[in-house]
Amino acid sequence: MKKLNPSSDERKLVDRLIPDPSHGRLLGILATTYEMQPEFFETDFLPTMLGLGAWDDRNWTSRIALEKNLAELEAATMLLDARPYRRRPRSLRVEVVPVALEAVRILHAKILLGVYEKSVKLMVGSANLTEPGYRRNREIVAVLTGSAQRPAEAKLIASAIRYMGDLLSQWMTTSASQLQDLALERLDEWAVEKTEEDKWFVWGGGKQALWRQFLDLWPTTDQVEQITIVSPFWSEEDASGPIATFVTSLQESDNLAADARLLLLTEAAPDKQATYKPKLPNSTPTYYLAKLRRM
């Protein structure tokens, strides 16, 4: 087994943006994020995705090349939460849409849709459009590519972006909607081959809770042997919390194996004894050990 060096380029999410010549020309970009760094977006993210190579922000040749490539796109649209938004990228060819949600709700989705002549790529994960998100942090990201050679992934991506469009419909601009339609037109053409429906996308923020959607799609004959949850953010947990509700519902439906394990992965911080401990609310481990007995 190959051992990966943590400092290796293989660990950088930005490398997944490098265009594959077999996919053809990039036709458009639609991204959503909570936080965005304009300098990273223009001098690193876009040049990498457009295949422009090394970038020199002080060189007019680089700026002209960027503007020329952006002008050839059907859309380059970014939706981001309005609260952390401070300023936009320099290029006016990039469409920036601040999203303001009511009360305590935020736009936390990190989605990147790239539409190419011969493929559609969808990246969904935890990385903001920032230099740490794409170059330094440990992020969890699913990268899917649909094409004529990948009909199953084409079908999955099509179902994902249809529901995504419904959730974001009030902020989808004309160019963003046109790019979504272009992607669906291609994906539906490639997904003509019948494939088994055993993979789904579920999105948060709709009428039904995320855990409920997940549970409803889980095959009734399959028992869950391990649940792994990765997150740096945790709220105080009790019997009414989302994780407890989800696990209890699995137990009640007989979908949870008797020896099932619940694995919580989070950031660790040093205590006074210089030993690292998970950054979880005090109630979380106590509740699970005492009530669910699944850690």
Q: Where is pLDDT greater, at 290 or 88?
A: 88
Provide the CATH number for the domain formed by 9-190 in this structure. 3.30.870
**What average pLDDT does the chain have?**
86
Task: Give 99-157 pLDDT, tens digit per residue.
Answer: 988 767 888 999 999 999 999 999 999 999 999 999 999 899 999 999 999 999 999 99
Tell me how far the alpha carbon of residue 67 is from its chain's centroid: 27
pLDDT bracket for residue 256 (50, 70, 90):
confident
pLDDT bracket for residue 165 (50, 70, 90):
confident
The domain spans of the chain are: 9-190, 210-292
